[in-house]
Amino acid sequence: MKYPIKVLIIEDDPNICNLLELYLEKEGYNVLFADDGEVGLERYYDINPDFVILDIMLPVMDGWSVCREIRKDRNIPILMITGKGESYDRIKGLELGADDYVVKPFDPKEVIARIKAILRRTNPHFDSKDNIDLTDFTINMMEYKVFRKGKDINLPPRELELLYFLVSQPNQVFTRQQLLDSIWGYDFDGDSRTVDVHIKRIREKIGEEIHHWSLKTIRGVGYKFEVKTID
């Protein structure tokens, strides 16, 4: 998938739209809007976006109906947002074919991370220009490979995706639940210790770099990939 990726935001709250626009455009996305479900569906057919951010509670036509109609057309990535957190909403979103789900209020950085995670899952070429190169450490998402000091490190897909998620957002702390939602999906009902197990395995395989970068545990919170400035 080539930039600029077209993102259609169907949301009736202008503050949320402005906030998402700020972060999305900073990432290089082309952002378009609709403030009710009916107009949103019309714009979807007119502009043929690459990604849809869809609120559930919308005027004229609700997000469920919009999602249902979009899914009749094609399997475009859809991130649903809502002020409700009940499991019913999540289950219904899954049944209608939504790719992910966030609850208001949300961290826009987390939304960006989830969008990228969805695009990586749905389009194998999305990360072809987003490979990461650090000192003696490379992640190649095109080939799904990790190299440390030139050596190919064998990481299963889930471990690699978790590592990439953290490395691509250096120095940002993520809770275990945020990592579960972003990598395993919001419908995952397993234990949060799953993240701890995967982090332990990753550390055992890639090792630690004391002076330049570190996969750090933030006690009582979660994890971050810390990149240190070298003078």
Shared-domain flag, residues 90 and 198: no
Based on the domain organization, do 161 and 193 belong to the same domain? yes
In this predicted structure, the answer to whether residue 172 has a pLDDT above a threshold of 70 is yes
Residues 153 and 220 in one domain: yes
Domain encompassing residue 193:
131-227
219 and 171 in a single domain? The answer is yes
pLDDT value for 187: 57
Q: At residue 1, does pLDDT exceed 50?
A: no
| One domain, residues 183 and 112 | no
Last residue of a domain, one of 122, 143, 170: 122
Domain boundary pick from 91, 122, 153: 122
What pTM did the predictor assign?
0.58
Listed residue (131, 113, 145, 148) closest to 224, CA to CA: 113
188 and 154 in one domain?
yes
Could you give the C-alpha distances from 231 to 170, 209, 226, 228, in angstroms and in order?
A: 18, 16, 16, 10
For 106-151, what is each residue's pLDDT tens digit?
Answer: 888 888 888 888 887 776 556 545 578 777 788 887 777 888 887 8
- The answer on pLDDT for 186 being more than 80 is no
> Is there a contact between 82 and 103 (Cβ–Cβ < 8 Å)?
yes
Q: Is 1 inside any structural domain?
A: no
> pLDDT band at residue 83, thresholds of 50, 70 and 90?
confident
- The whole-angstrom separation of Cα 170 and Cα 227 is 6
Domain with 63 in it: what CATH number?
A: 3.40.50.2300
pLDDT at 3: 45
Q: Which two tokens stand for residue 132?
A: 């990461």
> Is residue 105 reached through a cis peptide bond, with omega within 30 degrees of 0 on the bond before it?
yes
Q: Give pLDDT, residue 211.
A: 61
- Alpha-carbon span 172 to 225, nearest angstrom: 7
Residue 30 located in a structural domain: yes
Q: Among all chains, which residue has been given the structure tokens 């249902």?
A: 68
pLDDT on residue 41: 94
Instruction: Tell me what the mean pLDDT of segment 197-211 comes to.
Output: 82
Classified as helix, coil or strand, 2 is: coil
Residues 85 and 20 in one domain: yes
Please check whether residue 79 is in contact with residue 118, taking contact to mean a CB–CB distance below 8 angstroms.
Answer: yes
Q: Is residue 63 part of a domain?
A: yes
Residues 211 and 118 in one domain: no
Distance of CA 186 to the CA centre of its chain: 11
Residue 208 inside a domain? The answer is yes
Q: What is the mean pLDDT of the chain?
A: 83
Q: Do 12 and 112 reside in the same domain of the chain? A: yes
Q: Tell me the pLDDT tens digit for each residue of 49-69.
A: 889 999 988 999 998 899 999
Is residue 90 one of the residues assigned to a domain? yes
Given a cut of 70, whether residue 11 has pLDDT beyond it is yes
b/e for 25-54, b at 16 or more Cβ within 10 A? eeeebebbbbbbbebbbebbeeeebbbbbb
Q: Is residue 155 part of a domain?
A: yes
16-30, 119-133, 155-169, 170-184: segment of lowest average pLDDT: 119-133
State the CATH number of the domain containing residue 143.
1.10.10.10
Residue 2 pLDDT grade (very low, low, confident, very high; cuts 50, 70, 90): very low
Tell me which of 154 and 133 has the higher pLDDT.
Answer: 154
Q: How many domains would you assign to the chain?
A: 2
Residue where a domain terminates, one of 93, 122, 151: 122
Structure-token match 């630690």, residue found = 208
Residue 78 covered by a domain: yes
